Structure 1
Amino acid sequence: MQSADLQLDWLRAFVAVVDAGSLTAAAPHVHRSQSALSMQLKKLEDAIGRPVLTRGPRHLELTVTGIELLGPARRMLELHTEALAILHGPEIAGRINLGVPDDYAASYLTPVLRSFATRHAGVEITLVCEQSTSLIPKVTRGELDLALISRDRPQRGTLLFREPLVWVGAAQHEAWRRNPLPVAIYESGSRARRDALAALTAQRRTHRVVYNSASLAGQLAAVESGLAVAALTRCSVPPGLQILGAKHELPALPSMEVAVLRSKASQRMPAVDAMHEQMLRTLRKAGD
């Protein structure tokens, strides 16, 4: 190693890029431009004398040195956070009841929880994974403090971003060639179900619902077995399935408005305030 000094800003930039998957995605989290973030990484690599990240086919990938550094870097940042908490006030504690649909959990909630845990290790989180049709009334009743939801109507919660809906199928089965079109669909009352069926009706595509489920895993099983095609959020499509479109004679689908919804009962709860702020900071897209 060429230098014994590893500045916290360099390590913070490194961890942020690893967690976000790219310089572009990481920049807002550390309140720096992409070019400034790139410069921080270069200074870190110059100090170490070896690269910590390489550009892969889809995103940045850790080198062997990067893998070795990641754990100690996280611990150093956690200790820094603890030191600031000691100097500037007590650590936030408490419990949060948080809801998220299955299809958003891995792609969107994971970076939120990772960043939150680094800053607020004393908060206990109870996670409920259900579809938005179930989560929304639970937030309204105060059974959940916060939920990441697909909006069922305009102005519900605080808009974070828009998630495309796409048709998916298994290439080896070509269920999209059948007439009527067999469809696996979300539960009654869901916005995704309503939009998908409306698009097929508007196209005058003959179809029949062969599988109803609020479970993402169940819909994926129906598609993978060749039973049907499905309309899913793009973030939930696994690599083995094919995204379908106009060349498969399927209509375009609208995007889902993804929002964070907070219960009235959770107002003035510091732990929930912190989680709400973390969700906005991590997930909100410019222009929405």
Structure 2
Amino acid sequence: MPAADLQLDWVRAFVAVVDAGSLTAAAPLVHRSQSALSMQLKKLEDAVGRPVLNRGPRHLELTPTGLELLGHARRLLEVHAQAQAALHGPTVTGRVSLGVPDDYAAAYLTPVLRSFGARHAAVEIDLVCEQSTTLLPKISRGEIDLAVVSRDRANRGTLLFHEPLVWVGSPQHEAWRRDPLPIAAYEAGSMARRAALAALASQRRAYRVVYNSASLAGQLAAVESGLAIAVLTRCSMPPGLLQLQEKHGLPALPSMEVAALRSRASAGSGAVDALHAEVLRTLRRNG
């Protein structure tokens, strides 16, 4: 009996779930509901004849069959994207400078670049990883073309999603029990820094900034060493740290509005148009 054909939608669903780590995170990437995505995975497994994913309550794991299929699946999608580009218009070329803070780059940039690279392999991307407070004026001055940042005011750029801020500490050192509270903070002017200090002021909690760093790596080093606690975006919190809450004596924190912005100087660039569209398609969430 001949093997069943693998439909492209099933393959795309499979790769999206593997890359996103869950059906919930993958669904908006392929513009499907979770139930529709689950059905596509089932059809793929029926066609393959064996499970490709072990789906636990909190994580997904590739089966040996799924691991073998994944490389073929990526190549299928890449060849399909190349065929689409060849048939439906001229190749987009050029260079794009893209600004993203370290935490958003690590958490969100991979699916954008993977999909964009498959469609527009001739475009060169210069990645600038700096804090949002540094990237925003660079967009205004036209020094970079496009940025994914925590926006500083409503209606600036296109809203993609809300990213919660969280207090984090090392469970081995319990720095949150000290008085005054030792804080690791981003650079002066950082929106995360302002939010943290305003929350502590509203609680009338005594604190002391004992460590300053503009980098995510620097913040993590301060926390992991037990020197201080810090405020991070939830997406950048590594597994070994503890998210601190009201039961630890810490006040609630707001969420950051993550938005895509492009410079006026980039108008008319097909490469920037294409990358901007890919960012919106991949990262923008409804609601």
Q: TM-score range by the shorter chain?
A: over 0.9
1:57, CA displacement in angstroms? Answer: 4.7
Q: Is the 8 A contact 1:245 1:251 kept in 2?
A: yes
User: Deviations for 1:28-72, whole angstroms, at most 9, x for unmatched residues?
Assistant: 333333333222222221111111111135232211111111111
Q: 1: distance between equivalents of 2:18 and 2:2? A: 23
Distance 1:248-1:33 versus aligned 2 partners, 3 A rule: closer
1:4, CA displacement in angstroms? Answer: 5.2
Q: 2: distance between equivalents of 1:29 and 1:207? A: 41
User: Deviations for 1:241-286, whole angstroms, at most 9, x for unmatched residues?
Assistant: 1111111111111111111111001112111111111111111121
1:173, CA displacement in angstroms? Answer: 1.0
Query: Residue 53 of structure 2 aligns with which residue?
Result: 53
Matches of residues 110-149 of structure 1 in structure 2 within 5 Å? 110-149=110-149
Are 1:91 and 2:91 counterparts?
yes
Q: Is the 8 A contact 1:2 1:49 kept in 2?
A: no
- Helix, strand or coil at the partner of 1:252: coil
Question: Which of structure 1's runs of 4+ aligned residues deviate more than 6 A?
Answer: none
Query: Residue 18 of structure 2 aligns with which residue?
Result: 18
Q: Is the 8 A contact 2:97 2:128 kept in 1?
A: yes
Q: 2: distance between equivalents of 1:17 and 1:258? A: 23
Q: 1: distance between equivalents of 2:254 and 2:29? A: 29
Q: Is the 8 A contact 1:107 1:235 kept in 2?
A: yes
Are 1:199 and 2:199 counterparts?
yes
Query: Residue 100 of structure 2 aligns with which residue?
Result: 100
Q: Which amino acid aligns with 1:212?
A: N
Q: 2: distance between equivalents of 1:196 and 1:162? A: 17
1:27, CA displacement in angstroms? Answer: 2.6
Q: 2: distance between equivalents of 1:274 and 1:124? A: 12
Q: Is the 8 A contact 1:186 1:214 kept in 2?
A: yes
Distance 1:10-1:183 versus aligned 2 partners, 3 A rule: same
Query: Residue 212 of structure 1 aligns with which residue?
Result: 212
Structure 1's unaligned 5+ residue stretches are none
Q: Is the 8 A contact 2:29 2:283 kept in 1?
A: no
Identity among equivalent positions (%) equals: 77
Matches of residues 1-288 of structure 1 in structure 2 within 5 Å? 3=3, 5-287=5-287
1:186, CA displacement in angstroms? Answer: 0.9
User: Deviations for 1:141-176, whole angstroms, at most 9, x for unmatched residues?
Assistant: 111111111112222221111111111111111111
- Helix, strand or coil at the partner of 1:121: coil
- Give the alignment's Cα RMSD to 1 decimal: 1.5
Q: Is the 8 A contact 1:2 1:48 kept in 2?
A: no
- Helix, strand or coil at the partner of 2:99: strand
Q: 2: distance between equivalents of 1:161 and 1:171? A: 30
Distance 1:56-1:118 versus aligned 2 partners, 3 A rule: farther
Q: 1: distance between equivalents of 2:217 and 2:187? A: 13
More divergent stretch after superposition (166-175 vs 83-92):
83-92
Q: 2: distance between equivalents of 1:241 and 1:23? A: 25
1:103, CA displacement in angstroms? Answer: 1.1
Q: 2: distance between equivalents of 1:73 and 1:161? A: 29
Q: Is the 8 A contact 1:149 1:259 kept in 2?
A: yes
Q: 1: distance between equivalents of 2:155 and 2:170? A: 36
- Helix, strand or coil at the partner of 1:268: coil
Q: Which amino acid aligns with 1:22?
A: S
More divergent stretch after superposition (107-116 vs 189-198):
107-116
- Helix, strand or coil at the partner of 1:153: coil
Q: 1: distance between equivalents of 2:179 and 2:151? A: 32
The normalised TM-score by structure 2 is: 0.95
Q: Is the 8 A contact 1:213 1:219 kept in 2?
A: yes
1:23, CA displacement in angstroms? Answer: 2.3
